[in-house]
Structure 1
Amino acid sequence: MEWTGARYADKPNVEVKTWIDAAPERVWELVSDVTLMPGMSKELQSVEWLGGVGRPSVGARFVGLSRHESFGEWETTSTVIECEPPKVFAWAVQDPDEPSAVWRFRLEPENGGTSLTQWMQMGPGRSGLSFAIDAMPDKEQKIVFVRMREFERNIGVTLEHIKKLAES
C-alpha cells in the first residue's frame, strides 16, 4: 500500500495490491462487474449501468450512490475509460476530461493466479472534498491525507472481498 501527493492539485493517488489464487479471467468477471462493488464497500451504496449497458466497454456509463458520515450522500456518473479484458478496467468519475477521480484495476498473471492492483487518483476536477478544502484552505494537506488513508483502507477491504469471491 502506498499513496503519493499532499495537495488536491497534486492529484494524489493510492495503490493497493493483492495476489489471488484464481485465473485473471475469473478475477476480471468480478472487477468489471461494477454492480457487485456496493457489497464490498461501506461508502458505495448502489451502482447502475446507464443506457441498458450490461457489461463494460470504453464509453459505457454508470451511476453510483455513495454515503459518508462526514460528507452525507451523493450521486456520481462515471465513464469507463479503459477496458481490456482480462488486464485493465478503469473509469473516470464525473467529467472524463476533468474527472473528480479516476479508479483502475490492473490484473496480471502471477504464480498460477492473479496479481490484482487497485489504484485511484483524486482530481483534477472538483469533488465533494473540494468544498471542505474551500472552507478550510489552511487544513488542505490534512484533509487530503485523511481522505487518502480512508481510500487506502477501503481499497484493501474491496480487494479482500474480491479475493474471497474469486477463490471460492
Structure 2
Amino acid sequence: MNKETNTEPIRASVATLAIALISLLIFTDVIYSIINFFLMKVYFLQGVLPFDTHRYIIFILAMLHIGKSIFQVIFVLKFVMKWIGSSYFIVDSRLVKRDGIMSIVEKTFDLDNIRSITINQGILGKLLHYGDIVIEISAPGVYLDQILLSNLADPKKFEQKIRGHCKFVQ
C-alpha cells in the first residue's frame, strides 16, 4: 500500500475536450451554412424577404458570420476554462475535487470511507483511454454518497491510485 502524498492533478481527458470542441464547431457551422444557403438563394434568385431585408443580405451574412465566430470563441473558451479548472487530487488519504479558476470550490472526501469503485467506459472511451469513475462512500452509520469523476484520462490508473490509499477496498 502506497500512502505517500500525490499532488499531481488528474484532469478530464483531452480527447473529450477535443470531441466537445469539434462537435460545437461542426454544429454552429452547419446552422450557419443552412442560413447562408437560404439567404444566398434569395440573393441570387432576387427573391423578396419580409420588411425589405433582401436589400441587405450581404450585410446580414457578414453580421451572421461575425456573430457565429464570436459565439464559437466564447464557447471554446468556456469549454477550455472548465476543463482547465476541473481537477482531482489525492492528498493524505483524501480525494480532493477542485472546480473553478477565479472562484474555486473544493470538495474533500476521506478515502478510508470508500465502499466501492466502479469504472464506466464506452467503446469510444476504451479506444481513447477515458472513462468515468463512480466511488461509493459511506461514513460511520448509514450515510451513503456517490462521487462521479467524469471523463477522466486513464481511469484504471486513477482507480489504482485510489485503491492504494484506501483502507477497505482492495
Q: TM-score, normalised by structure 2?
A: 0.29
Instruction: Give the number of the structure whose alpha-carbon radius of gyration is greater.
Output: 2
More helix by share: 2
